[in-house]
DNA sequence: GCTGCGCATTGATTGTAATCAAGAAATCAC
DNA sequence: GTGATTTCTTGATTACAATCAATGCGCAGC
């Protein structure tokens, strides 16, 4: 019997009691996004927090000049959203877009709060995971200023090789902060030797 | 009568009841760091969370090549530490160093947990502030890959001009992700016109 | 099969930061 | 104050990514 992706994620990090899971799952609704659909955009108040069952999304800023700065890609088995906007009901600066046909389950604010306050194992998951993400973000920050595009690319190859197969190169380029032309040349340099 | 810096910080963000403050303050101990003292370093389990009363610190990574990547500077009136290592009692990857003669108050883990669980206004401050920092970090991430050094410098001039007066330029350079030579030239370009 | 469009590659040129190398200026120790 | 060290500036050169421009490739629609 196949284990639910959400339960798998919750248990993989810190343990989550199986018997609590149906009660948690009941708080979620399901939804499908078509390829390239905007899930929320800058200026919106984010109404849902998503967990991806199938597919892939990108979160990005639009610079004043209109360039897209991709912060990260989320794939099946992970949460994506923008908690600050969601919890405080304030407009976000981020954009979220599906990159493939994408199935999600999601929570609205009311259910998020209820689940978070009545399921201790979820609270624990959330706090610890949040802490962990913060540290990862800081590490990336440190590297973002310093690493050369070649280094960034090689790190991606090592850490998230599946993304390279899954996504078009211009998105990878926007994520690495280089032009598609440069990425093409980097790939040439780094595969032939 | 002078208001305590910590109370000021707590109240400036979300409100904190005056009458609770003495009870909170009792959890803290005091300490002084000399200029350029290492407060913790990569590999350490971080034992304290600091609040700066006077002075200035920097948090940074050491790259494999030995280059320093400064993540941020903390001045009087702000917390600094590394919560992930602190709370989970695991080794950190970050380094923290005082840049001036620095007075702090600090919490150890036991007191942090007690304070956090018995003073609701503190819990609230912590959660909300953490959320806010997360969003700011993401925004910086987005910019870090894309902005030119000139833009980074001008942003710093606008947002944190005091840092420029306070810190040596090679630290500013390490924060912006450029060499000191380049920063010197950027300054020349951006002050004369 | 052919046409058109989006995406990826390649080439030539340009701009800008890193690097290497001295000096000048400021800071600290005695 | 003097000298020594640290920090900042300036110059010359080099390396590399952006940009502009053109071509190649793959795929969808007719």
The pLDDT tens digits for A119-171 are 988 988 887 888 888 888 888 887 877 788 898 999 999 999 999 999 999 99
Q: What percent of chain B has pLDDT over 70?
A: 98
Give strand D nucleotides closer than 7 A to any protein Cβ. Answer: 7-12, 16-21
Closest CA to A46 of A85, A2, A103: A85
CB atoms near residue B115 (< 10 Å): 19
Window 21-60 of A, Cβ < 8 Å to B: 60
Give domain status of residue B150, yes or no.
no
Residue B81 to chain A, least CA–CA distance (Å): 12
Give domain status of residue A176, yes or no.
no
- What CATH number did the domain enclosing A109 receive? 2.60.120.10
Give domain status of residue A185, yes or no.
no
Spatial separation of the C-alpha atoms in residues A154 and A159, rounded to whole Å: 9
CA of B180 to C1' of D12 (A): 17
pTM: 0.84
Element (H, E) at A120: helix A120-146
Spatial separation of the C-alpha atoms in residues B177 and B186, rounded to whole Å: 13
Give domain status of residue A192, yes or no.
no
The strand pair at B29-33 and B102-108 is best described as: antiparallel
Give domain status of residue B141, yes or no.
no
Spatial separation of the C-alpha atoms in residues A70 and A61, rounded to whole Å: 6
Domain range spanning residue A28? 5-118
The pLDDT tens digits for B128-182 are 888 888 888 888 887 887 788 999 999 999 999 999 999 999 999 999 989 999 9
Supply the DSSP symbol for A154: H
Q: Which one has a higher pLDDT value, B166 or B123? A: B166
Spatial separation of the C-alpha atoms in residues B43 and A101, rounded to whole Å: 43
Residue A107 to chain B, least CA–CA distance (Å): 18
Give domain status of residue B172, yes or no.
no
The residues that bridge with A108 in the sheet, in sequence order, are A48
| Coil, strand or helix at A75 | strand
Q: Report how many domains make up chain A.
A: 1
Give domain status of residue B95, yes or no.
yes
Q: Mean pLDDT score of chain A, rounded to an integer? A: 90
The residues that bridge with B105 in the sheet, in sequence order, are B30, B51
Give domain status of residue B43, yes or no.
yes
């Amino acid at each position: 019997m196949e284990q639910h992706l959400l339960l798998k994620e919750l248990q993989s990090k810190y343990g989550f009691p199986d018997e609590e899971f149906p009660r948690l799952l009941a708080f979620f609704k399901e939804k499908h996004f078509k390829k390239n659909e905007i899930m929320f955009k800058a200026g919106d108040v984010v109404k849902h927090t998503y967990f991806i069952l199938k597919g892939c999304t990108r979160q990005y800023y639009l610079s004043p000049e209109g360039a897209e700065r991709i912060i990260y890609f989320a794939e099946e088995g992970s949460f994506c959203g923008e908690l600050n906007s969601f919890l405080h009901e304030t407009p976000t600066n981020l954009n979220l877009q599906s990159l493939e046909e994408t199935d999600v389950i999601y929570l609205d604010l009311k259910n998020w709060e209820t689940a978070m306050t009545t399921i201790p194992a979820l609270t624990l998951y959330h706090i610890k995971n949040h802490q962990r993400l913060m540290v990862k973000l800081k590490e990336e920050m440190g590297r973002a200023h310093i690493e050369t595009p070649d280094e960034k690319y090689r790190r991606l190859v090592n850490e998230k090789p599946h993304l390279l197969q899954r996504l078009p190169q211009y998105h990878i380029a926007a994520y690495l902060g280089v032009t598609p032309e440069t990425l093409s040349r980097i790939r040439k340099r780094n595969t032939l030797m």
